[in-house]
A and B are shown apart, each in its own frame.
Chain A
């Protein structure tokens, strides 16, 4: 939680994709933190549920937190408001995430698992999106690794695959393992579960804490090696763990490594059939500078013709389920920035899902791992 108060400086308004896409200042991070304060101070005629509903319109992208001079964590404020004023959207999301194992393997089961009464018409697109998340073929591979450097040879490492790759896009994890193998990395077996970030975002911190403990235990059991992660949202979720022991906390943070950094020096050849109009979507949760983009620039050169910077894909976790029209507005802005690209790559499971489900005609989208043969 913020150690200092919001000073209404507005720095966060420069980066909020929701404000940018909608022009609605009441959805800005500043408005959310201010509203939370007014509510806490007992401002007359504010209803807690109404405040939670309005403030809950948040993509959870964390861009605001990164620029706040006061260290205010607006998504955390939102999570706490959601926790204090629960409604059914929270329930819905919990159902999805905690039962990912059973819901996601057969994508359409996810949609079926939501009782009729909880799936009114406006959830349709969201449900379709998740329902469409089957193991399908994904993108056609266009990059072939031809030379592996020796930089990590012999290193023992863990691979954190995350829910999407574990249950739906198994190909991502398979490709990652193959590349690590090519580098001579020994990938250790680990009993990792969901990163838990989706649960924290909706105020279910206790449930998220259980998942964090499980994942930390798996890492300890493997001897605290580096953990390669290929989903920006999982990486941010994992980075948010706070083991009690400060030395261990430091070691955990150091251990978490974007997979693209490990792969960076592999040499790839591009298939002659590859389109020369490739776009990259920078996930809100990706580190700055973005190591995935660096890897792809190196591999694809001039073929990279468009990249997002400020735009969010609009996935927005629970918000997409509750306010699909806002999510769609944000998504449209993202595609506008990617204009000209026939193939769009990204490095986050949520973004990949969202972009694949919303790509305009003639455009395909997916995780960059799908591109590697």
Chain B
């Protein structure tokens, strides 16, 4: 067990306010409060918050923290949904939003270099002006950062074609406890020399070191896209529809799935451009050249036809966005069913998504709670929302039991308890079940090489 500094001493305070003058160091209760929680709504008060504006400050901070055994919690926008940005064991939160420069967007090397505070959508906008494309697109793309995304290995709608954040990181600079500076990878799109230290930081949630700069890969911006919303009379023809599209040799940029409960919830707040008889739906996006998109859209619709979809809507040009409204309305719509939600994001091998959905519904029935399933079918990543009402006695507990059953289901189907959001505080208890002791021991040993005193983001699961 690591021994941490038990609190902030007067000398600690002096050190921090000297290194981070003025607004750079927050010690007041009201100032620190904003850094006590993330989107998981887990909470723990930090002892102090610091805001570096230069890398040298980060180096100095990590040298000090190692010597003082002071827990440090790197924080970008705090949109993590499992508590990874929460200062669970007390210590100092390092808010990185002031290191927010886009250092380079290079149309010849096809790379971009960013600091930790750069919001992903802002990078994408700058790239788009140069007809370049940085594809990772978590639903939080407008409010989370490129490096936060890398630290959680965020996925998104386009992962089926373009992969997740991991697939776009070429290199990074990180400061390690003790103030060592590590540079791994670079601007090369290929590099096979040595162990891939860059990759170790992806999804590490700040547990190895603090990333101060990252180089990501870019590609040419697709010039056109189109979307297809298809409704089916039952779950199995819907799953078969997705299979048919891939078998036809198509690789859509997105392939989203929605079950009957989701469609019903959305209908309560908005129009759904599909017939009432729809029991499951698929939403595809294709992108590329204008001619390619036209041809692919036709082939996609043709591939679906043998499954007799009850409705097909194609959205192109200005109308494309409208097709996605139903998908975007899911999150607010779920609360039409019940006021509280336990939302998990399991992933299973693609062939087993249908089974996972059916069994998740059964779990709901067993616990007397509505379960809504939707998600990134194209990569087997399923969002399972267990709806409940905490003011009804017993429902919160039932939701908790149902959640555990969903996790077991994921592992049983050869899947994972989290495809995107991570484990952090909220899913910590389940990690040993999925990973096993030997893997965890190896991960701990790797971490010890970077962070011997365990000061980096302690208290979180792998």
Interface positions, chain B 92-118, Cβ under 8 Å from A, are: 95, 97-98, 100, 117
Stretch at the interface among A9-17, A167-175, A213-221: A9-17
B143 interface neighbour in A13, A38, A43, Cβ under 8 Å = A13
User: What 1/0 mask marks residues of chain B from 313 to 347 whose CB sits below 8 Å from any chain A CB?
Assistant: 00000000000000000011001000000000000
Given contacts A25-B78, A69-B332, contact A14 B98 (CB under 8 A): no
Do B38 and A8 have beta carbons less than 8 Å apart?
A: yes
Given the known interface contacts A23-B97, A69-B331, A69-B332, the answer about A13 and B30 at a Cβ–Cβ threshold of 8 Å is no
CB closest chain-A residue, reference B41 = A8
Given the known A-B contacts A8-B39, A10-B78, A10-B140, are A47 and B100 also in contact in the complex, defined by CB atoms under 8 Å?
no
Contact among A11, A43, A53 for B33, CB-based, below 8 A: A43
Please, which residues of chain A bring their CB within 8 A of the CB of B78? 10, 25
Q: Does B9 contact A (CB under 8 A)?
A: no
Asked if A31 is an interface residue, CB under 8 A from chain B, the answer is: yes
Interface residue? A181 (CB, 8 A) = no
What is the CB-to-nearest-CB distance from A209 to chain B, in angstroms, rounded to a whole number?
30
What separation, in Å, do the CA atoms of A51 and B332 have in the docked complex?
30
Contact between chains at A14 and B142 (CB < 8 Å): yes
Contact B41 A24 (CB under 8 A): no
Contact (A34, B23) CB under 8 Å given A10-B39, A69-B332? no
Enumerate chain A residues within 8 angstroms of B77, measured Cβ to Cβ: 10, 13, 25
Q: Residue A46 at the B interface, CB < 8 A? A: yes
Give the number of residues in A that approach B within 8 Å (Cβ atoms).
28
Report chain A residues within 8 Å CB of B28: 50
Partner of B34, one of A25, A43, A47: A25
Q: A25-B97, A34-B37 are in contact. Are A50 and B143 (CB under 8 A)?
A: no
Q: What are the residues of chain B within 8 A of A45 when measuring CB–CB?
A: 29
A52's nearest neighbour on chain B, judged by CB, is: B30
Q: Which of B33, B144, B332, B335 lies at the interface centre, i.e. has the most chain A CB atoms within 10 A of its CB?
A: B33
Q: Is A54 located at the chain interface by the 8 A CB criterion?
A: yes
Q: How far is the CB of B410 from chain A (nearest CB, A)?
A: 24
By beta carbon, the residue of chain B nearest A7 is B41
Q: Does A166 contact B (CB under 8 A)?
A: no
Chain A, residues 262-289, CB within 8 Å of chain B (1/0): the string is: 0000000000000000000000000000
Q: A25: which B residues are within 8 A, CB to CB?
A: 34-35, 75, 77-78, 95, 97
Q: Given A23-B51, A25-B78, does the pair A46, B97 have CB atoms closer than 8 Å?
A: no
Taking A13-B77, A23-B51, A34-B37 as contacts, is the C-beta distance between A51 and B142 under 8 angstroms? Answer: no
Q: Tell me, yes or no, whether A331 is within 8 Å of chain B by CB.
A: no
Least CB distance, B318 to chain A, in whole angstroms: 13
A155 on interface, CB distance cutoff 8 Å: no
Q: Which residue of A lies closest to B117 (CB)?
A: A23
A46 CB contacts on chain B under 8 angstroms = 29-30, 33
Contact present for B331 and A47 (CB under 8 Å): no
Chain A residues whose CB sits within 8 angstroms of the CB of B34 once the complex forms: 25-26, 28, 30-31, 34-35
Q: Which residues of A contact B41 (CB under 8 A)?
A: 7-8
> Is B30 a contact partner of A10 (Cβ separation < 8 A)?
no
Q: Which residues of A contact B144 (CB under 8 A)?
A: 10
A24 CA / B26 CA spacing, docked (Å): 10
Is B31 an interface position by the 8 A CB rule? yes
Is B79 part of the contact surface with A, judged by Cβ < 8 Å? yes
Given the complex of chains A and B, what is the CA–CA distance between A269 and B272 in angstroms? 46
Chain B hits for A30, CB < 8 A: 34
B residues in contact (CB < 8 Å) with A: 23, 26, 28-31, 33-35, 37-41, 49, 51, 75, 77-79, 95, 97-98, 100, 117, 119, 121, 140, 142-144, 331-332, 335
**Could you pull out 14 A-B pairs where Cβ atoms are within 8 angstroms?**
A7-B39, A8-B39, A10-B77, A10-B143, A23-B98, A24-B23, A25-B35, A25-B77, A26-B26, A31-B34, A34-B37, A47-B29, A47-B30, A51-B30
Q: Which A residues lie at the B interface, using CB under 8 A? A: 4, 7-11, 13-14, 19, 23-26, 28, 30-31, 34-35, 38, 43, 45-47, 50-51, 53-54, 69
Given contacts A8-B40, A9-B39, A47-B30, 10 further A-B contacts (CB under 8 A): A4-B335, A8-B41, A10-B79, A10-B144, A13-B143, A23-B100, A24-B51, A25-B77, A50-B30, A69-B331
